[in-house]
Amino acid sequence: MTPQTIFLAQTGETAITHIALPQGRLRYAYARSRECQAGGDPGQDALAIQVDAERVVFALCDGVSLSFMGDWAARFLSQQLVNWLVGLVDGRKGALGIQEIQAALALRLSALTALATRQIKAHPLPDDLSPMLRSVLEEKRGMGSESMFICGWLDFVSRGMLLAWMGDSRLRLWQRSEECTEQAFGDAFQTRERWSTQKGALGQPHVWMGNLEATTRLAAYSDGLAILDGKMDGPYADSTLDELIQSVGEMPNSDDISYFEVILAAA
């Protein structure tokens, strides 16, 4: 298959899209909140994917809206995490243990702060802002930007799988068609844990490693689609998933939605 690198646009909606894999398929979707759509604003979520015949690499990020330019932080971090994961795979570092990868990820998150801070400082504000709003945004700029994330790779050659996250976005795993999310990840999804452009990792990145031999499905989605929590016994039809995304998006307090799923042939 032809290698593909995908960065979903934050300025519009992405309908459910499929990509065929050597042993299954992946699908993804993106929708801004009702408020963002009405105001013509970018979504605070970001989703980056790289896929070829040997692997899938992805990063799903949820920018913290109360920080400065959360949409920018999510986009920046999603691209950086995908690049970092590709480097791990290409560098034949898949044999590293969880603690080594955890330390390497924390170091990478810290190293990104210098570049991110420079770009945050250089980010222009619209000319038509009121003095009060400009003052508020400048104060936020001084505190930096933040984003939660889920990222990972699935390698069809080594049959290995790596997942890492900080924050409360959802990550779910099925093996032999039985969900094993709680057994695999426990209760390690905390809102207070995230990446900061000023401080790096706020908390310790979580890392999980496994293999694809028994894995039949992996799903990651932002909290805007929390309606799926506790559901999804089997893969939803596209039409059902689309209806859920549409119905949630019509709620007055809707949040941005990013959705990523890999469905593999049963082992």
**Structural domains of the chain in order of their starting residue, each with its CATH number:** 4-264 (3.60.40.10)
Average pLDDT (150-154) is: 96
Query: To which H or E segment does residue 155 belong?
Result: strand 146-155
Residue 17 has pLDDT above 90, yes or no: yes
Distance separating alpha carbons of residues 249 and 131, to the nearest angstrom:
32
Entry pTM: 0.93
CB 159 within 8 A of CB 212: yes
C-beta of residue 3 within 8 angstroms of C-beta of residue 52: yes
Q: Are 196 and 113 in contact, with CB atoms under 8 Å apart?
A: yes
- Write out pLDDT tens, residues 49-64: 999 999 999 999 999 9
- Residue 253, judged by CB atoms within 10 A of its CB (0-12, 13-18, 19+), counts as exposed
Higher-scoring residue by pLDDT: 134, 33: 33
- Confidence tier at 92 by pLDDT (50, 70, 90): low
Distance CA 145, CA 195 (A): 8
Q: Can you say whether the dihedral through the CA atoms of 219, 225, 257, 120 is positive or negative? A: negative
> Is the per-residue pLDDT at 267 higher than 70?
no
Q: Are strands 160-166 and 146-155 parallel, antiparallel or unpaired?
A: antiparallel
Q: What are phi and psi of 145, to 5 degrees?
A: -120, 155
Sequence-distant (6+) residues with CB within 8 A of 83 are none
Asked if the model's pLDDT at residue 88 lies above 90, the reply is no
**End-to-end Cα, the chain, rounded Å:** 22
pLDDT digits (tens, 9 = 90+) for 191-237: 999 999 999 999 999 999 999 988 999 999 999 999 999 888 888 89
DSSP string, 159-225: -EEEEEEESS-EEEEEETTEE-HHHHH-S---TT-EEETTTEEESPPEEEEEESSSEEEEEEE-GGG
